[in-house]
Amino acid sequence: MGLVGFVIAASVHYFMDSPTLYWITSFAGVVIFTGLVVIDSKKLKEINKIGNEGSDEDEKEAIMGAVCLYIVF
């Protein structure tokens, strides 16, 4: 929800070119994406607790976790 609001506010900023809106969207973007990184990191820690070290499933989880964090960054 916050990400959708951020995209809408950034679009409005593109047409209005307001310095105040620029700072608001910049701050909101940092907060939103920091939250997404925290959520994804927590999800990766929970997935890793399963205990399937060294298996093919473990390698797939590591790759998918890296892709999820890459998308957020």
Q: What is the pLDDT of residue 48?
A: 72
Cα distances (angstroms) measured from residue 43 to each of 17, 19, 30, 61 = 37, 36, 20, 11
DSSP per-residue codes, 33-53: HHHHHHHHHHHHHHHHTT--T
pLDDT digit string (tens) for 37-47? 888 888 877 77
| pLDDT in the model for residue 49 | 67
pLDDT digits (tens, 9 = 90+) for 4-61: 888 888 888 888 888 888 888 889 888 888 888 888 888 877 777 666 666 677 677 7
pTM, 2 dp: 0.65
